[in-house]
């Protein structure tokens, strides 16, 4: 008889794990919601597609992830490929293409002079170790660009001084242009192609919900199953929800729930460390917006609290109810009142007209210098009980979908 595996959570991580294990194990996925997807969920509102958290697009720099992904999907039939067309909106409604450091030549004279001075200074600076996000941004892009864009934009997302953001937290997520590249890209007016999402795939129908629905197909997913008890006894795990027993558990939910969910294994010192983990939520506001050529607009302006508009209506024509409508999602960090949403929308570019909104309490994990070590120690400890965990809020990592898939693959390679 095949060994049984319980996967908790039908987000992209849990679905990837279940797909990878299903031929060798009897896999059951427990999902507390009524549909799969977690953060990549979408729903139709007035015939338009609402990404209830963000506006998910797909690409990866990992060839093994791309290979696996395209084994699951028909690229030509189900996806379109698009080049990212994003701009930063500066005061006086100046649209500067993203990334801003490649388009310094478009900025006001005094800012260009500041950037030139910064670049000259950067060529002389010593290569000391960088410890926080502010230092990284100033050293990499200079104070002039930091002041007009990097600081105000990132402060809106992280809601704290960028000195308090350890650099390890954003490892692998940050653009790393050299001074030579910045100068060259400006002289030659080069469009950036190095970012993971400088070009991306997008689903022809139903946005990222299509990915979740397709991966869930053929799996044994039990919906509306909020797992709040996992009991270890005699070498087996019992799922409190239905009393079924499993040899292996792969947890892809939120690590914060583990201390009160796991019974029969003491999490000891980890409990207080897990309790101390910080994060942000996101309010995604679905709007009708002006027709425009953009994928994303980045909004450093302090006039309003939203930090970006994702023009999801441009990703696939089926995302808009008809050709007269253009839709997008306006993103705010954390919860925001209905009245404040409307006050903010009134001041924003593209004249967003409110349709509906959703607050997602867990979207951006915040690491400190010890988080990764704590997570690795806990993984090691639970491994001996055949309990594994992976995912954005299980690992407390700032994963994109593809990196979540990669992490799920690594987890499965420890199981098989």
Minimum distance between the CB of residue 125 and ligand FAD, rounded to whole angstroms?
33
Which span (31-39, 86-94, 289-297, 368-376) binds ligand FAD, by CB under 6 A? Answer: 31-39
DSSP state of 291: -
Closer CB to ligand FAD, 320 or 360, in the complex:
360
* Residue 56 engages ligand FAD in binding (rule: CB under 6 A): yes
**DSSP SS3 for 218:** coil
* Residue 253 engages ligand FAD in binding (rule: CB under 6 A): yes
**Burial zone of 176 (CB within 10 Å; 0-12 exposed, 13-18 middle, 19+ buried):** exposed
Minimum distance between the CB of residue 107 and ligand FAD, rounded to whole angstroms?
27
In the list 402, 406, 411, 412, the residue contacting ligand FAD (rule: CB under 6 A) is: 402
Minimum distance between the CB of residue 66 and ligand FAD, rounded to whole angstroms?
12
**DSSP SS3 for 119:** helix
Closer CB to ligand FAD, 223 or 354, in the complex:
223
What does each C-alpha distance from 29 to 14, 19, 22, 379 come to in angstroms?
A: 7, 10, 11, 20
β-bridge mates for residue 9, sequence order:
none
In the list 301, 316, 400, 411, the residue contacting ligand FAD (rule: CB under 6 A) is: 400
Closer CB to ligand FAD, 106 or 359, in the complex:
359
- The 3-class secondary structure across 4-65, one letter per residue, is EEEEECCEHHHHHHHHHHCCCCEEEEECCCCCCEHHHCEEEECCEEEECCCCCCECCCCHHH
* Residue 375 engages ligand FAD in binding (rule: CB under 6 A): no
Angle at 349 between CA 57 and CA 40, to 5 degrees: 20
Minimum distance between the CB of residue 345 and ligand FAD, rounded to whole angstroms?
18
* Residue 363 engages ligand FAD in binding (rule: CB under 6 A): yes
Q: How far apart are CA 137 and CA 144, in angstroms?
A: 11
Closer CB to ligand FAD, 8 or 249, in the complex:
8
Token code pair at residue 338: 């209905």
Q: How far apart are CA 363 and CA 55, in angstroms?
A: 13
Q: Give the x/- contact pattern for ligand FAD in 202-231, rule: CB under 6 A.
A: -----------------------xxx----
Closer CB to ligand FAD, 135 or 232, in the complex:
232
Minimum distance between the CB of residue 56 and ligand FAD, rounded to whole angstroms?
4
Which span (67-75, 174-182, 335-343, 387-395) binds ligand FAD, by CB under 6 A? Answer: 387-395
Q: Yes or no: say if 211 and 51 are a contact pair by the CB < 8 Å rule.
A: no
Closer CB to ligand FAD, 53 or 382, in the complex:
53
* Residue 393 engages ligand FAD in binding (rule: CB under 6 A): yes
**DSSP SS3 for 272:** helix
Residue 119 backbone dihedrals phi, psi, to 5 degrees: -65, -40
DSSP state of 236: E
Closer CB to ligand FAD, 21 or 57, in the complex:
57
Q: Give the x/- contact pattern for ligand FAD in 144-163, rule: CB under 6 A.
A: --------------------
Helix runs in 73-208, H state only:
75-78, 109-124, 133-141, 143-145, 151-158, 179-188
Minimum distance between the CB of residue 416 and ligand FAD, rounded to whole angstroms?
20
* Residue 38 engages ligand FAD in binding (rule: CB under 6 A): yes
* Residue 52 engages ligand FAD in binding (rule: CB under 6 A): no
* Residue 404 engages ligand FAD in binding (rule: CB under 6 A): yes
In the list 254, 273, 283, 333, the residue contacting ligand FAD (rule: CB under 6 A) is: 254
Of 315, 292, 293, 296, give the one whose Cα is nearest residue 306: 296
**Burial zone of 380 (CB within 10 Å; 0-12 exposed, 13-18 middle, 19+ buried):** exposed
Q: Which residue ranges make up the site for ligand FAD (CB under 6 A)?
A: 8-14, 30-33, 38-40, 53-54, 56-58, 225-227, 252-254, 257, 282, 363, 391-393, 399-402, 404
């Amino acid at each position: 008889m095949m060994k049984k595996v319980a996967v908790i959570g039908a987000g992209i991580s849990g679905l990837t794990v279940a797909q990878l294990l299903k031929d060798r194990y009897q896999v059951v996925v427990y999902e507390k919601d009524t549909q799969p997807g977690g953060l990549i969920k979408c729903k139709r509102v007035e015939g338009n597609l609402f990404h209830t958290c963000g506006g998910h697009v797909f690409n990866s720099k990992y060839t093994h992830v791309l290979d696996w992904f395209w084994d699951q999907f028909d690229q030509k039939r189900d996806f379109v490929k698009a080049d990212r067309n994003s701009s930063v909106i500066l005061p006086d409604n100046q649209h500067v293409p993203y990334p801003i450091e490649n388009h310094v030549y478009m900025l006001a004279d005094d800012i260009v002079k500041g950037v030139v001075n910064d670049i000259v200074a950067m060529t002389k600076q010593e290569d000391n170790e960088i410890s926080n996000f502010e230092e990284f941004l100033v050293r990499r892009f200079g104070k002039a660009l930091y002041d007009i864009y990097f600081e105000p934009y990132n402060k809106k997302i992280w809601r704290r001084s960028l000195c308090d953001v350890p650099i390890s937290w954003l490892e692998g997520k940050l653009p790393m242009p050299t001074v030579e590249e910045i100068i060259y890209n400006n002289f030659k007016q080069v469009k950036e192609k190095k970012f993971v999402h400088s070009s991306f795939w997008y689903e022809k129908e139903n946005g990222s919900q299509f990915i979740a629905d397709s991966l869930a197909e053929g799996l044994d997913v039990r919906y509306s199953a909020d797992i709040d008890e996992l009991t270890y006894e005699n070498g087996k795990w019992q799922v409190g929800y239905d009393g079924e027993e499993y040899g292996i558990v792969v947890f892809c939910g939120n690590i914060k729930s583990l201390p009160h969910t796991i019974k029969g294994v003491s999490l000891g010192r980890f409990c207080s460390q897990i309790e101390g983990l910080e994060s942000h939520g996101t309010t995604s506001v679905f709007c009708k917006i002006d027709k425009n050529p953009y994928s994303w607009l980045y909004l450093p302006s302090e006039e309003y609290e939203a930090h970006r508009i994702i023009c999801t209506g441009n990703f696939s024509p089926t995302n808009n109810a008809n050709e007269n409508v253009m839709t997008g999602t306006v993103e705010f960090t954390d919860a925001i009142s209905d009245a404040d949403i409307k006050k903010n929308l009134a001041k924003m570019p593209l004249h967003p007209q409110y349709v509906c909104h959703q607050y997602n309490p867990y979207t951006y994990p915040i690491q400190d210098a010890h988080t990764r070590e704590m997570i690795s120690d806990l993984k090691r400890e639970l491994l001996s009980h055949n309990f594994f965990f992976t995912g954005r809020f299980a690992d407390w990592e700032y994963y994109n979908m593809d990196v979540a898939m990669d992490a799920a693959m690594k987890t499965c390679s420890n199981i098989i």
